[in-house]
Amino acid sequence: MPGHHAYRLLTSRAGTRRLRHVSLLRSVHTWTPLAAAFNRKPEQKILSIFDKKRRGLFGNPLLADASGFYLLKEQAEIDSDALVREATSTERTRNVVEIFDELSDVLCRVADLAECVRLLHGESNFAQAAEEAHSSMSNLVEQLNTNRPLYNSLRKCVEKGDIKPMDDVDKHTARLFLVDFELAGIHLEEAKRRRVVQLNSRILSAGSKFLRRCYEPRYVKESQVPEEIKPYFEQDAGHLVVTNLMSDAPSETIREAAFRAYLMPDQHQLEPLKDLLDARNELAHLVGKKSYSERANQESIFNNVGTITSFLNTLSEKIAPIAKEEYVQMLALKKRLSPQATEVYPWDTAYLTALLRKEGDSGMDNAKLSQFFPLGACIDGLSHLFQSIYGVRLAVEDTSAEDLWSPDVYKLSARDENDEVLGYIYCDLYERAGKAHQDCHFTIRGGRQLSDGSYQTPTVVLSLNYQSPSGRLPSLMPLWSIDNLFHEMGHAMHSMIGRTRYQHVTGTRCSTDFAEIPSTLMEFFSGDSRVLSRISRHYQSGQSLSEDILYQALESRKQFSVTELQQQAFYSILDQAYHGSTVPKDLNATFAELHAKHVTVQYVHNTAWQLRFGHLFSYGARYYSYLLSRAVASDIWLGYFKKDPFDREGGVKVREGLLKHGGGKPPLELVSNVLQHKPDVQELVSALVQNTKKA
């Protein structure tokens, strides 16, 4: 009973380089209430001397105090025990899948909320209490994973049916619960079950150690480094400290030295990676899978390791000639900088591509561009976009009846065209000390159909790290920040629009590759000059940017995007190779072999980049998911929104065919529904490449 821890093509415009003007598309400088709210910090609640009572996080009175987490945990344990007894009773009156989903809801509403609070709350007592509650829920889940009567009751209903007829949604959800059980090895004999527990513990330990060591600095003796570059590195007891690749350093000597030192093979880093891969491989075989990749991807879109491999190899082959063209451009620039240069090395690519993009930009730097995208304009623009395509608008909600974990948090409601609330989105968007730096989407409460016919309102939290407003200066958004905002709002819409029967499959509770489709699709909107032109609004003058200048700025970002795509394809291929039927004996030899086959820039001998690739732990055998989700999103964009990004007909098809089902149907079925045919590898690769390369 596991818990849930759980680029665009437009017709080329002749002469766009000379169109460096700003269009005065608005002459009246007023902000909507939504935009105005996000252009300043949220108004803090001021309690009078007669009203000092805390009201509780998310409006829950129990969470007015940190001790409330203990009460939530205790109640969850009581409710879980009752639901387990019901699920295993011969006198039950509900189907097992209904009971299981309620059990899942009980666990997730504590575990997911606690996960969010422990990472975001500014008060240490709340964070600690949330940590303890989260740990308790994890332990409870582990206990349920070993409950054989509970498993037997579920398996019986999956294999033979239940007391009430089950439709496809019931069967699919019940099967997902069963798969989760069996991934934990509950169906195995006792000795093998104990081994599964040992292996899972080993995987967590080795993975955590590997991840930690991925970011450790490298110490190099001063005598091994050229004298002229020593001042560019920290020094410590006769050693130079290399903390990163220094890929933006103008000196190739510095870049090369940092690259070779930081990526030098190291047994200290290799051991936990090898241990992680070996333990995963043994675990997969123990539960009857041919490889860890098969185990990890059995509920994915392709649901087949062979098809995943075919997708990646086809993509690599398709982009190789384009990547070669980009390599020639990089080499030409390098020769301009250093006439004696004959080759582009891995330490050159980031530096050279940044220079070439700058040469081809719109003539307006990021700082000037961002002045046309204050956060309020972006949120307001998103609301108008969602209203156009999905019939959903965003509205600022009052938080006076609840406590917040930070005064900088906004609360939004997502509302349909009848002004009915679909769900709530808490926006924690500004950086602050102690806050987790990674952009996140937390599900606080999943949507589900309740027994009285009503619907449990979904609630999510979006956490990003923008610079906070200061005085009359709002948070100004560079283009990459707009991408991030649109991406995370794509996840939020998946949760808001989803109307699943069961919370186990609500919103983003689905396979990684499928969960990333709605969010990645939103990046195509943020990469479209028509959308950005409509959103843009200078924070002082109210002026908007023309489509032409935005088109040029966006096209410059696409320069060398295929080189980056090639790198991502290679990383995904390597991830699959490391999680195949056998673990390679020599991880570095496998890296070098695959690099030579799939990457235009040559491999550098005596380097081990994979020892810095933390995603081998966090996305083991699923790193390809982001490429596949981008490919599907590309196909959707080309089919419905390339001609008109505000098209309601296309939006309805995405909303009804994809978003509202969450993970309630097999992912390939949902992808086929929205595309109106079953996609093949060639189609998806073509869509991905078409929307990646520069027009």
Distance CA 548, CA 563 (A): 26
**Dihedral through CA 414, CA 420, CA 422, CA 426, nearest 10?**
40
Sign of CA dihedral 671, 675, 680, 686: negative
- What's the token pair of residue 605? 């001998």
Nearest-CA neighbor of 80 among 133, 1, 146? 1
Give me the phi and psi of 546, to 5 degrees please.
-75, 160
Q: Cβ(651)–Cβ(390) under 8 Å?
A: yes
Beta-bridged to residue 461, according to DSSP, are 426, 442
- What's the token pair of residue 163? 């007391």
Residue with tokens 């619907």: 455
Give the residue ranges of DSSP H helices in 391-511.
479-497
639 DSSP assignment: I
Distance CA 445, CA 162 (A): 28
Distance CA 518, CA 392 (A): 15
Distance CA 657, CA 673 (A): 6
- Write down the catalytic residue from 488, 523, 547, 555: 488
**Dihedral through CA 534, CA 538, CA 540, CA 543, nearest 10?**
-60
Distance CA 540, CA 518 (A): 33
Give me the phi and psi of 197, to 5 degrees please.
-60, -45
Contacts of 343 (CB under 8 A, 6+ apart): 331, 602
Q: Cβ(164)–Cβ(188) under 8 Å?
A: no
Give the residue ranges of DSSP H helices in 168-266.
168-183, 190-214, 252-262
Kind of pairing between the strands at 459-466 and 421-430: parallel
- What's the token pair of residue 180? 């989760």
Beta-bridged to residue 460, according to DSSP, are 425, 443
Q: How many residues are given for the chain?
A: 695
Q: Cβ(531)–Cβ(637) under 8 Å?
A: no
- What's the token pair of residue 515? 């969960």
Q: How far, CA to CA in Å, does 574 sit from each of 244, 582, 592, 684, 692?
A: 22, 13, 10, 20, 22
Residue with tokens 């920040």: 481
Distance CA 385, CA 522 (A): 10
Answer yes or no: 488 catalytic.
yes
CB environment 648-657: b (16+ within 10 A), e (fewer) = eebbebbbeb
402 DSSP assignment: S
Distance CA 556, CA 560 (A): 9
Residues taking part in catalysis: 488
